[in-house]
Amino acid sequence: MSLFLFLILVAVVLGIVGFAAHGLFYLLVIGVVVLLADLVYAGVRLRRGGRRQRIAR
């Protein structure tokens, strides 16, 4: 969970710097890519974490 929040923070900071600084549009693009990768990562973790295997006794 902490990795997810850290990547969200990085994406937001890169997006703000890329939007605010003249000529650094590529940072905004990198921020969006990091955000999308983080959402995919979270989706895979939630989908995989929902299934629990039963242990046969």
Residue 57 lies in a domain: no
Kindly report, residue by residue over 30-54, the tens digit of the pLDDT: 888 888 888 888 888 877 765 566 6
CB of 25 closer than 8 Å to CB of 39: no
Residue 15 lies in a domain: yes
Exposed (0-12), middle (13-18) or buried (19+): which is 55, by Cβ within 10 Å?
A: exposed
Work out how many domains the chain is built from and give that number. Answer: 1
Residue 54 lies in a domain: no
Residue 18 is predicted with a pLDDT of: 81
Residue 31 lies in a domain: yes
Average pLDDT of span 26-33? 82
In order of 26, 28, 38, 39, 41, the CA distances from 50 in angstroms are 36, 33, 18, 17, 14
Residue 33 lies in a domain: yes
Which of 15, 37, 11, 38 shows the shortest CA–CA distance to 26?
A: 15
Residue 8 lies in a domain: yes
Q: Which domain holds residue 24?
A: 2-48
